[in-house]
Structure 1
Amino acid sequence: MTETEKTILGAAVRMFTRYGVKRTSMGDLAQEAGVSRQTLYNTYKNKDDVLRALIRFHTRNALSEIEAELGGIDHLGGQLDIVFDRMVLGGFDLVREMPNAQDLIDGFNAAGQEEMTASAEEFRLVIQRLLSPHRKALANAGLDLSDLSDFVQRSAKSAGSVARDRDHLVRLLQTLRNLCLAATGQSR
């Protein structure tokens, strides 16, 4: 990612957080980023492109953070805690702080469905990799590794949408974590 792209995405986060996606124009983004409108349009065709790029950027950063932290953790529970923190809790906290959170969510849903699907698959693959050493125990419990990783990823993300508050979300994620540990025969 170029410095210009990073600058524009940083400006987009600030503007979308402050004013919402609908009320932010491409001109507003250019001004906030300190680039010309032509540079902005040469980099991103429209706000939908910016939103898709934000999803990719967030996904890459979260996956990099997960990989950096997983190296020192060999217990499945701790590994899942890291994944859930980066995949769900970080975004939940960010959205809760935004005055125009629903506008941003709606913008992501409309513009970035394909990117969000690709992002979900990347997180699912990380979860599958973490569960794969326990493939035999999962099979003995009647669970398919791919199906379980899909279920865990979708359940964790869904928990972020339905949780009453952060404490409730943490409890939901801990329950999901503990179910994975039970299914693999691991202790807490």
Structure 2
Amino acid sequence: MGMNERNIKIVETALELFAHYGVKKTTMSEIATAAGVARQSIYNAYDGKEELIYGALEHRARQSACVISRECAGLDDLGDRLDVAFSFLTLEPCKIIMTMPHREEILQATEEMSQDKKNHIINIYNSVIADLLKPYKNRMRLDTVEFDDLCDFIRFSFEQLKKYAVNIDHVHRSYRALRQLVVNSVDS
């Protein structure tokens, strides 16, 4: 279920304004003006700022999933595939988050999102991670760990790196450890 161009413009504009001015200080009228749509158009599509944030996050999740799938299609090396996912799911968002003046407000709004909405976005990310690991699934030494739980753990690790990284070097160091563990779980 994709978004139409108008709604993509609305949620992307909202996220930019929230990042720059803060969620609380940005009005729906300002979002409408910046997106070039009528204020009523926003209210017809979104119940409020939380819905706009969710819409933007879901859109970004779907975009990232498509790009990761496309870029991994030609890669045979598991480490290279993980690098692609890391780049789009952690590294690039982390660089953006670290430059946002009002990142705490957006992170708070994300935390307050309903569990159903969080789960929907989590499922998009877990699915793309499962797809990139699938060619190695039968050679992975998982013992008592379920494949889906490994995918969820990788997604969760990427998410935590984004949230708690001190700086970009810290993100890279932490990822290298995760990458090594996953790559080493595959029999050659």
TM-score in same-fold range (> 0.5): yes
Contact 1:51/1:111 (CA < 8 Å) preserved in 2? no
How many angstroms apart in 2 are the aligned matches of 1:28 and 1:96? 24
43-52 or 110-119: bigger deviation: 110-119
Contact 2:86/2:158 (CA < 8 Å) preserved in 1? yes
Compute the displacement of 1:63 (Å). 0.7
Residue deviations 1:114-138 (CA, integer Å, cap 9, x gap): 3332222222222223333333432
Match of residue 50 from structure 1: 52
Match of residue 173 from structure 2: 171
Residue deviations 1:48-98 (CA, integer Å, cap 9, x gap): 211111111111111111112112211000001111111111211111111
Q: Report whether the alignment pairs 1:18 with 2:47.
A: no
Compute the displacement of 1:20 (Å). 1.0
Match of residue 111 from structure 2: 109
145-154 or 74-83: bigger deviation: 145-154
Contact 2:141/2:187 (CA < 8 Å) preserved in 1? no
How many angstroms apart in 1 are the aligned matches of 2:86 and 2:164? 15
- The aligned runs of 1:124-135 (5 Å cut-off) are 124-135=126-137
Match of residue 33 from structure 1: 35
Residue deviations 1:132-182 (CA, integer Å, cap 9, x gap): 333343246554322222211112211222221111101111111110010
Residues 40, 144 of structure 1: CA spacing in aligned structure 2 closer, same or farther, 3 A cutoff?
closer
> Structure 1 regions of 5+ residues with no counterpart?
none
Q: Which of 76, 79, 82 is the matching residue for 1:80?
A: 82
75-84 or 22-31: bigger deviation: 22-31
Contact 1:8/1:30 (CA < 8 Å) preserved in 2? yes
What is the TM-score of this pair, normalised by structure 2?
0.90
Amino-acid identity (%): 28
Q: Which of 165, 175, 185 is the matching residue for 2:187?
A: 185
Compute the displacement of 1:112 (Å). 5.4
Q: Which of 154, 158, 162 is the matching residue for 1:160?
A: 162
Contact 2:8/2:56 (CA < 8 Å) preserved in 1? no
Residues 10, 161 of structure 1: CA spacing in aligned structure 2 closer, same or farther, 3 A cutoff?
closer
Secondary structure of 1:53's aligned partner: helix
Q: Report whether the alignment pairs 1:64 with 2:54.
A: no
Compute the displacement of 1:113 (Å). 4.3
RMSD: 1.8
Residues 129, 3 of structure 1: CA spacing in aligned structure 2 closer, same or farther, 3 A cutoff?
closer
How many angstroms apart in 2 are the aligned matches of 1:140 and 1:105? 33
Compute the displacement of 1:15 (Å). 0.9
